[in-house]
Amino acid sequence: MILKASQRSGAKQLGLHLLKMEENEHVEVHEISGFIADDLMGAMKEAYALSKGTKCKQHLFSVSLSPPIGEAVRVDVFEKACNAIEERLGLTGQPRMIVFHEKEGRRHAHAVWSRIDPATMTAKHLPFFKSKLRDVAKQLYLENGWKMPEGFIDSKLRDPRNFTLAEWQQAKRAGIDPKAIKSAIQECWNSADNAAAFAAALESRGLFLTQGDRRGHVAVSYEGEVFAISRMIDKKSREVTARLGDPAQLRTVSETLRHISDTVAPRLSRFISEAKRVAHNAMKPLNESKQVMQQRHKLERERLDHRQNDRLADEQRVRSMRVRKGAKGVWDILTGRYFKVRKQNEMEAFFGMERDRAQRHELVQAQLDERQGLQSQIAAVRERHAEQLLSLYRDAAQFRRMGRDTDTSRGRDGLQPAPRGPGLGR
């Protein structure tokens, strides 16, 4: 189970994010403990109010718990993971919230603790929490028999294409899968041994080698997004400069943007718009199916909850009838019958809770399996249209090379060379 955590403030913003339905298909507030409030936003406000009595600026500790793909993880496994985190970091007894999110056929959890100890009105110190969470995550993989990621076995085997939040958001704005961008730049770097070959390889993927304002060598996408080469390939800037030369010899970002506008944008923009329109139409029925499935799954869960609540009420009535009152109740205490009945009721209540949890887990897992089937279709459509967009980028690079070759030929024939960067749409 991958654990990612941060100390933070912004209780209201975090609460709204955890309850946001726009980004998640199902949101379930599983636990609110240690707070007077019994709702998530009330608990967030309570944690914030408590922090005002201290000097602590980051009064919350937030952890996301992501199980391995394809694993059916029960609720008690998530709870056990949260308990292990508490014990390892010294948060035992601190107020906490647990929220489940489901998206694209996968389920993960968010756990949030208040760092403020109400007894001492001080914040719990969490030194080296990242390395401690890594140890907890390793133990969870071992205990549950999950295949451990290579990065946990040897840190040098970590996937170099793991994005930071800033890189992810930047790539999302560019309209292409972020890992595809990073992977494409790495492939170009591995296949090219000089600046010219690297630039040509980038252009075949719709990226242009450019002199950055502060970062040395950068790649500029068709939409104008800038990606630092050293960050994309996980190399030092001096290593990049050693292979590609002085970045001052390249166009600046503004010059590259003008070049793209003159040579690629007029024609390619129409093609890309058409490709995006086709992709939208292809995704529309799948998105409609996703919405219908989401509502059906929600209704099935509500029906199960109602049935379980009704059954729980009936069982509680039966158990309460076993406890006699008045003189008979006193006699039961004296003879020991009351304690036997209480133990029986406690056992039945425990097994009833386990039964209800198992039923809900089976329903949720069946729904996740169904949703993953639809998600595989969505992923296939996305991949197909992503390949189409990449093909358009390659075509644009080819037309640009043809224009450059034409300029060279005119220069050899004694004709006046065409202006730099002829427009394809003229």
Measured between alpha carbons, how far is 76 from 95 in angstroms, rounded to an integer? Answer: 18
Instruction: Say what angle helices 337-412 and 195-203 make with each other, to 10 degrees.
Output: 110
Nearest to 104 by CA among 141, 69, 136: 69
Spacing of C-alpha 340 from chain mean position: 50
At residue 222, what are phi and psi to the nearest 5 degrees? Answer: -60, -40
Backbone φ/ψ region at 172: left (φ over 0), alpha (ψ -120 to 50), beta: alpha
pLDDT tens-place string over residues 57-112: 999 999 999 988 888 888 889 999 999 999 999 999 899 999 999 988 889 999 99
Spacing of C-alpha 22 from chain mean position: 14
pLDDT tens-place string over residues 267-286: 666 776 777 777 778 888 88
The pLDDT value recorded for residue 351 is 93
Nearest to 425 by CA among 198, 264, 230, 292: 264
Half-sphere exposure of 284 (CA within 13 A, CB side): 7
Nearest to 86 by CA among 70, 97, 102: 97
Q: Which residue has the tokens 């008045």?
A: 326
Mean pLDDT over the full length of the chain: 82
C-alpha distances in Å from residue 360, one per residue of 24, 59, 298, 372: 19, 34, 12, 18
C-alpha distances in Å from residue 347, one per residue of 212, 341, 358: 68, 10, 16
Residue 77 tokens, joined: 């496994």
Nearest to 205 by CA among 421, 3, 392, 9: 392
Sorted by where each begins, the domain ranges of the chain are 2-157, 165-259, 267-404
At residue 42, what are phi and psi to the nearest 5 degrees? Answer: -65, -40
CB 147 within 8 A of CB 2: no
The pLDDT value recorded for residue 156 is 46
Backbone φ/ψ region at 159: left (φ over 0), alpha (ψ -120 to 50), beta: beta
Helix (H) or strand (E) holding 381: helix 337-412
Mean pLDDT of 231-235: 86
CA quadruple 271, 272, 276, 279: dihedral sign:
positive
Q: Tell me which CATH code domain 2-157 carries.
A: 3.30.930
* Other CB atoms within 10 A of residue 189 CB: 20
Q: Please tell me the least confidently modeled range out of 111-125, 177-191, 355-369.
A: 177-191
The pLDDT value recorded for residue 415 is 39
The pLDDT value recorded for residue 149 is 73
